[in-house]
Amino acid sequence: MRILIVEDDAALARGIVSLLRAAGHAVDHVAGGEEALSVSATEPYSLVILDVGLPDIDGFQVLARLRARGDQAQVLMLTARDGLDDRVRGLDLGADDYLRKPFEVEELEARVRALGRRRGGDAAPEIVIGTMTVNRSTGRVEVAGRAIELRRREWSVLEALAARAGQIVTRETLQAEVFGFDDPVGSNALEVNVTRLRSKLAPDGPAIRTVRGVGYMLDRS
Amino acid sequence: MSGGTSRAISLRYRLLLAMFGPLAVLALVLGLLGWVLISDVVRRTNDRVLGGALGAIAETVQVERGEVTLDLPPAAFGMLENSERDNVYYRIAVGGALLTGYADLPAPDPPTLSSEEPRFRFAQFRGQRIRIAEIRRNLPRIDAPVVVQVAETLQNRNSLRDKLMIALLIGECVLVGIVLLLIRPALGWSLRPLSDLRGVIEARDTRAAPDLSPLRTGPLPSELRPLSRSFDRLLARLDDATTGMRRFTADASHQMRTPLSVLKVQVALARRGRSDRERSEALHEIEDATDRLERLLTQLLTLARADEAGELPPDHEIDLKELSQHVISRRIRQAIEAEVELLLECGEGPFRIKGHRTLVFEMLSNLVDNAIRYNRRGGTAQIELFADPGAIRLVVSDTGPGIATDQRELAMSRFVRLQGERGPSGSGLGLAIVRSSAERMGAQLELGDADPGLRVTVTFTVD
């Protein structure tokens, strides 16, 4: 899933980025509120991890403006402040979740996974498509009882397609969800990943169809 | 308060003292005046009766066939009868010869007597004081003047005077006593607004979070209004102080949370790291976060020490030159890493000041740290010392970006970092520490331009 981290502390941002990349997400980082707004206007983030204390405009304002322009991305607020007020205010403004610094790493990961599931309107950790089971909490994929080893990008592609199984996912959407903007992306990187994924799911897993000129679709059956 | 260590006198006792003295003097004066007045009135009334009796007797003195005769009227003596059984004496004499009465009643000097108005005087008779009324009568064909005297002892007069005096004294005592007795209830009534005020104040500190808003009292007597106003001012100052403290604590905990989060994340990454490179990267981050926390903690403690209320420990003689060398030796490694040249320039000494060594050290240390941190590669950070008459100036300048004039006040606030997180790492406490320490020691702090860079001047006054 494509995640934007808005955090002004460079060291913390580096840590969260490494953590979430290791979990197979495409992660971008910005340090300021205005920058976050301009980046999220063009990139389809599924989740924004938003620090409240930002140097230019605070996280609440960023959130309010995101929601005002109809951005549906899940928002996880991070704050160093203690007050209940902050939590209530954040949730009222349309935040989906809230985490206080210093947080447990496992908790951050679990919340990110939970928010990712909620995005597809389906909060269950497991998606079952035919013979394939995708566990979004553990990142395990099984086809007919056989565990499939996936690389980070392959996992991202599969997660994006599985959440919308039976629907066409455009090439642009998939590209944006799988790669962060500072990932070095070759012109055919997406194709390479889709092809590799396709061969790993074969022969008994669901097929990934290419819809020429449009995008890809994961078969439901 | 009259003062010092002597115990304060209670208000009731004060009022008692303040009122009893003047009241007693007043009562004494009133008593003396009363004595004079009463004696006068008693004398006049009794004299009038005595004069009446004298007149009645004198009326009866006649000349009958060349002889002076008289017919003592019993009514005249009846007038003089009273409950005290005063003795009455009389004497009628023609010239020096006694006609009738008590021969030894002190005789007057006839020429001085008037024949119109009776004369009154006190005299001593048979061991008693008496009052004598006397008049002269000139009778036809009698050459010698006839002197008529009536006298009475003074028991009645004295007893009347004493009764009146006693009544007066009792009245005075009752008055003084009532006034003194009323002090207590009057004081209680007068002080009730004060105890209401106390009630309002006491209701405050029973609450967990102290309410430092102005007191909400009802209308107060004018005497108490200044007190309540000063109390409100004190509350306002206290409110400022606690708000500042609360903000500081919140800011401080906020500052700790981020490096702590970094630690947690990086520890997790180190534990999961699959390659040596990942693990060593995480360890590096952990080291940095630990340094940040350590620096933050040191600075918070320094600030708390500089802010600490109460007496500073005794002043030390501090040699600023020696202290600067010490700070430089502690910071030289940091300067080399940052590729900043660290210099000490000082002319003729001595650069001795009196002050708190730790405070001066922390102040200089933070200034040098800033000068290295907010500098450019290849720049210089310089400490200069100047001995002026009556003052020693410590100047720390750098070749960094400097601070714009309108940002300088802000730069000295706590947790303010002008360059945000994109600037060099720091806690935003350095200049706040310098300012607090300078204030604490009565030194002047001034931020200026070093062209380019920041020049911080601290002026210590010396005597």
Question: What is d(CA B326, CA B323) in angstroms, rounded to the nearest whole number?
Answer: 5
Q: What pLDDT score was predicted for residue A169?
A: 87
Token pair of A100 as six digits:
């206080």
- Over 50: is that where the pLDDT of B1 sits? no
Q: What are the CA-CA distances from residue B60 to residues A190, B64, B73, B120, B245 (Å)?
A: 162, 11, 8, 20, 110
B253/A80 touch (CB, cutoff 8 Å), yes or no:
yes
Task: Check CB contact under 8 Å for A14 and B285.
Answer: yes
Is A21 in the same domain as A101?
A: yes
Model pLDDT, residue B333: 85
DSSP B390-429: TEEEEEEEESS----GGGHHHHTSTT--TTGGGSS---S-
Decide if A38 touches B, using CB distance below 8 A: no
CB contacts of B266 in chain A (<8 Å) are 15
Q: How far is B256 from chain A (nearest CA, A)?
A: 9
CA distance B291 to chain A (A): 12
Q: Given CB atoms, is A81 within the 8 Å cutoff of chain B?
A: yes
Say which residues have a Cβ less than 8 Å from residue A201's Cβ, sequence separation at least 6: A132, A143, A148, A207, A208
3-state percent helix, strand, coil for chain A, nearest multiple of 5: 40, 25, 35
Taking contacts as CB-CB distances below 8 angstroms, the residues of chain A near B251 are none
Q: What is the pLDDT of residues A107-124, one digit of tens each?
A: 999 899 888 877 665 656
Largest CA distance in chain A: 54
Q: Which of B168, B284, B331, B262 is nearest to A13 (CA)?
A: B262
The two three-digit tokens of residue B318, written as one number: 């501090």
**B269 and chain A: CB distance < 8 Å anywhere?**
yes
Mutate to test the interface with A, among B421, B422, B425 (most CBs of A within 10 A): B421
- Looking at the structure, do residues A6 and A104 belong to the same domain, yes or no? yes
Give me the residues paired with residue B89 across strands.
Answer: B151
| Contact between chains at A9 and B258 (C-beta distance less than 8 A) | yes
> Do A68 and A31 reside in the same domain of the chain?
yes
CB-nearest partner of B254 from A11, A81, A104: A81
Indicate if A114 and A132 belong to the same structural domain. no
Lowest mean pLDDT among A11-20, A172-181, B106-115, B200-209: B200-209
CATH code for position A151: 1.10.10.10
For residues A113 and A137, state if they share a domain. Answer: no
B300, B249 in Cβ contact below 8 A? no
CB A173 within 8 A of CB A214: no
Contacts of B278 by beta carbon, 8 Å cutoff, 6+ apart:
A18, B269, B270
- Domains of chain B in start order, with CATH, are 12-162 (3.30.450), 225-304 (1.10.287.130), 311-461 (3.30.565.10)
Q: Give the pLDDT of chain A (221 residues) as one tens digit per residue.
A: 889 999 988 889 999 999 998 887 888 999 888 999 999 888 888 899 999 878 778 889 999 999 999 888 899 998 877 667 777 888 888 889 988 888 999 999 989 988 887 766 565 677 888 888 888 777 788 888 888 888 888 888 888 888 888 888 888 888 877 887 777 667 788 888 899 998 988 888 888 888 888 889 888 76
Chain B residues within an 8 Å CB radius of A9: 258, 262, 421
Of the partner residues B250, B258, B268, the one whose CB lies closest to the CB of residue A101: B258
Q: Which token pair is B304?
A: 């708390």
- Do A88 and A140 share a domain, yes or no? no
Distance from the Cα of A35 to chain B's closest Cα (Å) equals: 14
Q: What string of DSSP letters covers A75-123?
A: EEEEES---HHHHHHHHHTT-SEEEESS--HHHHHHHHHHHHHHHTT--
From A65, A100, A119, the end of a domain falls on A119
Q: Do A197 and A112 lie in a common domain?
A: no
> Residue B354 is encoded by which pair of tokens?
């009196």
Half-sphere exposure of B202 (CA within 13 A, CB side): 6
**B258 contacts chain A (CB < 8 A):** yes
Total number of domains constituting chain A: 2
CB-CB under 8 Å, B259 with A11 = yes
Average of pLDDT values for B448-463? 86
Q: Which tokens sit at B413? A: 């606030």
* Residues A138 and A147 sit within 8 Å (Cβ to Cβ): no
**Interface A-B: count of C-beta contacts within 8 A:** 68
A141-185 tens-digit pLDDT: 888 888 888 888 888 888 888 888 888 888 888 887 788 777 766
Which tokens hold the place of A216?
């890809």
The answer on A138 and A36 residing in a single domain is: no
Say whether residue A53 is in contact with chain B using an 8 A CB cutoff. Answer: yes
Is A34 touching B (CB cutoff 8 A)? no
A194 and A92 inside one domain: no
B43-94 pLDDT per residue, tens? 999 999 999 999 988 888 888 887 888 888 888 888 888 877 888 999 998 8
Residues 6+ apart with CB under 8 A from B229: none
Q: Which domain holds residue A157?
A: 126-218
Give the pLDDT score at B310: 53
Residue B397, token pair as written in the block: 């300048």
Please check whether residue A22 touches B, CB under 8 A. yes
Residue B306 confidence (pLDDT): 67
For CA atoms A82, A83, A87, A93, give the dihedral sign: negative
Least confident residue range of A150-159, B132-141, B286-295, B404-413: B404-413
Helix (H, G, I), strand (E, B) or coil at B382: strand
Q: What is the DSSP letter of B110?
A: G
Note the ipTM here: 0.70
Domain ends where: A89, A119, A149? A119
Closest residue of A to B260, CA-based? A102
Q: DSSP state, B338?
A: T
Specify whether A24 is located in the same domain as A111.
yes
Inter-residue contact A194 to A208 (CB < 8 Å): yes
- How many Å lie between the alpha carbon of A220 and the closest alpha carbon of chain B? 35
Amino acid B360: pLDDT: 86
A110 touching chain B per CB within 8 A? no
Residues with Cβ < 8 Å from B365, sequence gap 6 or more? B327, B330, B331
The answer, for A10 touching chain B at a CB cutoff of 8 Å, is: yes
The encoded tokens of residue A192 equal 């390479």
Average pLDDT, chain B: 84
On whether both A115 and A130 belong to a single domain, the answer is no
Inter-residue contact A130 to A180 (CB < 8 Å):
no
Q: Do B260 and A102 make contact, defined as CB atoms within 8 angstroms?
A: yes
The pLDDT of residue B417 is 65
Determine the pLDDT at residue B146: 87
Is the same domain home to A69 and A41?
A: yes
Residue A57: which CATH number?
3.40.50.2300
CA distance B396 to A91: 48
Give residue-wise pLDDT tens across range B339-386. Answer: 999 989 887 778 888 887 778 888 898 899 889 988 888 999 999 999
H-only helix segments in B273-344: 276-307, 320-337
pLDDT at B359: 80
Last-in-domain residue among A61, A85, A119: A119
What is the number of alpha carbons within 13 Å of residue A139 lying toward its C-beta? 20
Nearest to B268 among A14, A100, A105 (CB): A105
pLDDT in tens, B315-351: 778 888 988 998 888 888 888 988 999 989 887 778 8
Query: A128-149 in b/e burial notation, b at 16+ Cβ within 10 A?
Result: ebbebbbebeeeebbbeeeebe
Summarize the confidence of residues B12-25 as an average pLDDT: 87
Q: Give dist(CA A7, CA B246) in Å, integer.
A: 25
